[in-house]
Amino acid sequence: MLEYTIQKLSRLAGVTSRTLRHYDAIGLLKPKRINSSGYRIYGEAEVDKLQQILFFRNLSFTLEEIKEAVNNPAFDAEQALLLHRQALLERKAEIDDLLHTIDKTIANRRGDIKMSASEKFEGFKKQLMDDNEKKYGKEIREKYGEDTVAVSNKSFAGLSEADFAAMQDLAAQLQTGLTEAMKTGDAAGEAAMKVAEMHKRWLGYTWPSYSAEAHRGLAEMYVADERFTAYYDDVCGIGAAAFLRDAILHFTEQK
């Protein structure tokens, strides 16, 4: 049975010996044994576990999340590999979309083809939709239904170059406005109402139709789901999502 010193394993896996010592110290990857000279010795089981850890790291899991997963008695290594594979295939599809857009852009610049304004942003819009699907797809579909989400995605994919840029610009203005409105402490004030109105206009780029009820429902999701909360709190400050929710509630009550 093959065994590896920490130096050999670090070279084999492409990580530093310091990293392996850190993994040992935090209980993430313990060596098989310590030899009579005090050196860490790793066996095939530890090699397999390190491979699994590096797969998780490649997918941006934290060390604490990885430790909790791989040290769980119910951890299924094969199932985890299948999930890793699916995640990498999705990442590959995103890269392929962007490469396709780049290839078409090069051909367009050389005069071989003529790209429409919409085609120039296909890859970026597809990536944004894929990211949103992975983060929020399940919750959005449960709340609004498959048909509504499909229409919204179709609207987003079909945005012209000007509308796409305008939507992105409005999102930035919304974040700036929200940061400033929060300083007033008044979610029903003039600054907050301007933010809520901007949010309504931002939704208009993709929503098939507007309703105050749906707007309020989305606002509640911003607070109920920590991932939605983080979208605004991370940029505009803690409490931003709740402030926006309150502003939208006051705004829609006036409609």
Least confident of 51-55, 157-161, 232-236: 157-161
Token pair recorded at residue 173: 């203005």
Q: Which residues contact 33 (CB under 8 A, 6 or more apart)?
A: 41
**CATH, residue 239:** 1.10.490.50
Q: Which domain holds residue 231?
A: 160-253
pLDDT for the residue numbered 24 = 96
Let me know if residue 192 belongs to a domain. yes
Q: Average per-residue pLDDT in the chain?
A: 83
Nearest Cα to Cα of residue 51 among 24, 80, 74: 80
Q: Which residues contact 128 (CB under 8 A, 6 or more apart)?
A: 156
Return d(Cα 214, Cα 145) in angstroms, integer. Answer: 12
Domain end call among 17, 37, 70? 70
Domain count, the chain: 2
pLDDT for the residue numbered 156 = 63
Type and span of the H or E element at 253: helix 240-253
Least confident of 158-162, 169-173, 211-215: 158-162
What is the SS3 assignment for 33? strand
pLDDT for the residue numbered 192 = 96
Return d(Cα 165, Cα 167) in angstroms, integer. Answer: 5
128, 152 contact by CB (below 8 A): no
pLDDT for the residue numbered 151 = 56
Let me know if residue 186 belongs to a domain. yes
Let me know if residue 62 belongs to a domain. yes
- Residue 158 — very low, low, confident or very high, per pLDDT cuts 50/70/90? low
- Residue 125 — very low, low, confident or very high, per pLDDT cuts 50/70/90? low
Q: Is residue 103 over pLDDT 60?
A: yes
The 10s digit of each residue's pLDDT in 3-55 is: 999 999 999 999 999 999 999 999 999 999 999 999 999 999 999 999 999 99
Let me know if residue 99 belongs to a domain. no
Let me know if residue 61 belongs to a domain. yes
Matching residue, tokens 């852009």: 105
Let me know if residue 105 belongs to a domain. no
Q: How large is the average pLDDT for residues 207-235?
A: 85
Domain end call among 35, 70, 105? 70
Three-state secondary structure of 187-217: CCCHHHHHHHHHHHHHHCCCCCCCCHHHHHH
Return d(Cα 102, Cα 109) in angstroms, integer. Answer: 10
Type and span of the H or E element at 161: helix 161-184
Which parts of 43-160 fold into alpha helices (H)? 44-58, 63-70, 77-109, 122-144, 146-157
Let me know if residue 37 belongs to a domain. yes
Let me know if residue 52 belongs to a domain. yes
Angle at the Cα of 154 from the Cα atoms of 151 and 160, rounded to 5 degrees = 135
Token pair recorded at residue 21: 């010592």
Sign of CA dihedral 107, 111, 113, 116: positive
Least confident of 111-115, 139-143, 243-247: 139-143
Q: How large is the average pLDDT for residues 225-236?
A: 84
The whole-model pTM stands at 0.47
CA 6 to each of CA 41, 55, 70, 71, 189: distance values in angstroms, whole numbers, following the listed order: 7, 19, 20, 21, 62
Domain end call among 40, 70, 100? 70
Percent of the chain with pLDDT over 70: 82
